[in-house]
Amino acid sequence: MTSLSAAIRSALLTADPHAKVMTTRALVRDWRHGRLEATFDSPMPDRPAWPDYLELLHPTKMPRRGKAGSDKNRIALWHSLAHIEFVAIDLALDIVGRFGGEMERSFTDDFLSVAADEAMHFSLIARKLKGMGSHYGALPVHDGLWEAAQSTAHDVAARLAIVPMVLEARGLDVTPPTLERVRSQGDLSGAKVLQRILDDEIRHVGFGAKHFIARAENRGESPENLWKNLVETYFRGRIKPPFNDSARQAAGLSRSFYAAVA
């Protein structure tokens, strides 16, 4: 029987976006049906495989978006979202393959479900881009999300603190106004996609907060204090308002975590 970590490594090293989506879905399905061995004997790659045609730029070198509401700007928005969701597949797979052996079974179940969600989100957005006459890879992208994974590859608490509880939590703040802007432009199908992503991301941030709090308590540390220390150590940006407090609270991320470092 194939080990879970070997299956995850294979998915991470799949570069083609459609193939990565299908491999991830099959992996999660096989895990749920007991067709993968719960062992973590394969090392995770330092980087996942991405398509050769992606033009990777430093975040500061990314081109500015055009005029709000223009077709060019709308494509740039959806392309940016496609890249976020594509990298999110790898982030969810990597956290399981890298740290699943030291965590409880629910950790693996939760983050494999996240990987399946992110694969579905990417597929929805890729279809949206195709309908707009574009495709994933048509515009430059940046590597900022995976840099966060690399800097926290040694510590599951740091990974949880930065990826779901900072980066994904930021999505809870910025998605609602984006959703309203898309809806105001008459793009009801796009608004439906963003609403689905927002609903799922609340659950994803919740998984991060749940397992981070349990990890901190197992270490005999205050979750809020540990989170603040890890953010100050590993997060290069700023945590800044406005915050979607209701969505963050629904995910188990109370203001006691982020207010003091905002």
Task: Confirm if 129 and 79 have CB atoms less than 8 A apart.
Answer: yes
For residue range 120-133, list pLDDT tens digits in order.
Answer: 999 999 999 999 99
Specify the DSSP element, H or E, that contains 191.
Answer: helix 188-218
What is the reported pTM? Answer: 0.96
d(CA 11, CA 32): 16
Specify the DSSP element, H or E, that contains 180.
Answer: helix 169-184
The domain limits of the chain are: 1-143, 152-262
d(CA 194, CA 252): 21
Task: Confirm if 101 and 36 have CB atoms less than 8 A apart.
Answer: no
d(CA 239, CA 172): 13
Q: In the structure, what pLDDT confidence band is assigned to residue 104 with cuts at 50, 70 and 90?
A: very high
Task: Confirm if 7 and 27 have CB atoms less than 8 A apart.
Answer: yes
d(CA 207, CA 234): 20
For residue range 16-54, list pLDDT tens digits in order.
Answer: 999 999 999 999 999 999 999 999 999 999 999 999 999
- Answer left, alpha or beta for residue 229, where phi above 0 means left and psi between -120 and 50 means alpha: alpha
For residue range 51-61, list pLDDT tens digits in order.
Answer: 999 999 888 88
Per-residue model confidence (pLDDT) at position 66:
57
Per-residue model confidence (pLDDT) at position 62:
85
d(CA 59, CA 74): 19
Number of other CB atoms surrounding residue 206 within 10 Å: 17
For residue range 237-254, list pLDDT tens digits in order.
Answer: 889 899 999 999 999 999
CATH class of segment(s) 1-143: mainly alpha
Percent share of the chain, pLDDT over 90: 88
